[in-house]
Structure 1
Amino acid sequence: MKVIGLFLITVVLSACSNNNWQTASREPAGIAPAPEKEKSAVIEVYAADAFSWRGWFAVHTWVATKEANAAEYTVYEVVGWRVKRGLPALHQYKTTTPDRYWFGSKPEKILSLTGEKAERLIPQITEAVNRYPWVNEYTVFPGPNSNTFPEWVGLQVPELGLKLPFSAIGRGYADN
């Protein structure tokens, strides 16, 4: 009986994690509006299971904005391994695919705004990003981490109505 239990645990654990970040999918999930089709402003916030065993209980979250008629989104996210390389934890980049898999985990939209409201809020988001107090810091628990960042932006721009999932561990650090 113990052998069967050990076998089942091994199978479940191996099926639930991707331990090779270099080969884990970073393909687009196909859930973001394509910039060439969606001409209005867009704000989206995504959550995907954290990499490897962390994904059993936590998510990684990020923010994407696209101004009206823009050809690309601006993605904002906090990534811990950047700090270990001497870079800021807060990373900003342009892309046509803000909904890429997070190292093997398909993202879910947790917020999506388009049109006039998005257009009005994007400058406020940009301003909040520029004031983020933990740009060069990352701590898995209690934070600041990848979930602290979107939560902090949401607190600075309450009209977003952003509600991160319970599994966004570190979101409470933004209240500090």
Structure 2
Amino acid sequence: MREDVAPSWRAADWSSAKLLKPPSEVPQAIVAVYAARVGRWRGIFAHHTWIVVKEAGAGQYTRYDKVGWGSPVRTNGWAPDGRWFGNAPHPVAVIEGGAAERLIPQIRKAVASYPYSSYGAYNAWPGPNSNTFVAHVLRAVPELDAALPPTALGKDWRPLQDLIGLTPSRTGIQISLAGYAGLALGWVEGLEIDFMGLVAGIDIRRPAVKIPAWGRIGMDPITW
């Protein structure tokens, strides 16, 4: 659901949505992937996604986003569970404890190795964009066992020379014509047909229908 009514970037609410407890109250390691509707008219059909990590005993969370201005890959640019242009995020995956602790070094390595992290290496559509970045991390760390929402435009972007490959979860096959059209079939991702960024499909693992612009209708997809 869209919540933003802000007329501008500056006027929007970027505050914490209170999904995460203060680090002092959470001694265990945490990994979380969040998605929130983007601002203005694009929020009708698109989500922005990001990744949050916290080692066991750490005094703060670390948030990673890719954005289209300034330094593309941002660290702690906003509150870890902050609203995006006024829209509250929802969790795509939340992993805690020992499992999260084991994944965090891999996640940090994947963030550092993202091949489109230089200035100007951002294309809102079809990609590479913010969701291409998170999909890269999911592909590098398939143990996250998560699929981005169908409205995460850019998640399926692949360079033309990389036309066919594994899905981010590595549980299936993905074909992408540079993000303009494609097909994915995997246990985690389900069946997805992508045309001009609009994704339709079905999820069998956690039964749901995926509808362009709307998102999922069915079982909660979150990984705990």
Q: TM-score range by the shorter chain?
A: 0.7 to 0.9
Normalising by the residue count of structure 1, what TM-score does the alignment of the two structures yield?
A: 0.83
Specify the alignment match of 1:99 in structure 2. 81
1:140 and 2:109 aligned:
no
Specify the alignment match of 2:105 in structure 1. 123
- Equivalent residues in 2 for 1:77-88, closer than 5 Å: 77-82=65-70, 88=71
Deviations 1:73-101 (A, max 9, x none): 1110001122xxxxx31111287x41010
Q: Does the 8 Å contact 1:47/1:109 carry over to 2? A: yes
1:164 and 2:127 aligned:
no
Bigger fraction of residues in helix: 1
Cα shift at 1:16 = 6.3
- Equivalent residues in 2 for 1:34-45, closer than 5 Å: 34-45=22-33
Q: Say if 1:108 and 1:32 are closer, same or farther in 2 by CA, change over 3 A.
A: same
Q: Which structure is richer in relative contact order (CA contacts within 8 A, separation 6 or more)? A: 1
Amino acid across the alignment from 2:153: I
Q: Say if 1:70 and 1:144 are closer, same or farther in 2 by CA, change over 3 A.
A: same
Deviations 1:34-85 (A, max 9, x none): 2111111000111000111110000000000001101101110001122xxx
Aligned residue for 1:173, secondary structure, equals coil
Specify the alignment match of 2:73 in structure 1. 90
Q: Does the 8 Å contact 2:4/2:39 carry over to 1? A: no
**Of residues 42, 48, 53 in structure 2, which corresponds to 1:54?**
42
User: What is the identity percentage for the equivalent residue pairs of Structure 1 and Structure 2?
Assistant: 41
Amino acid across the alignment from 1:93: N
Q: Does the 8 Å contact 1:58/1:169 carry over to 2? A: yes
Amino acid across the alignment from 2:123: T
Distance 1:32 1:114 in 2: 12
Bigger fraction of residues in strand: 2
Cα shift at 1:21 = 1.1
Amino acid across the alignment from 1:24: A
**Of residues 1, 4, 7 in structure 2, which corresponds to 1:19?**
7
Q: Say if 1:24 and 1:94 are closer, same or farther in 2 by CA, change over 3 A.
A: closer
> Which 4+ stretches in 1 moved above 4 angstroms?
none
Distance 1:16 1:133 in 2: 32
Structure 2: runs of 5+ lacking an equivalent: 163-224
Structure 1: runs of 5+ lacking an equivalent: 1-14, 83-87
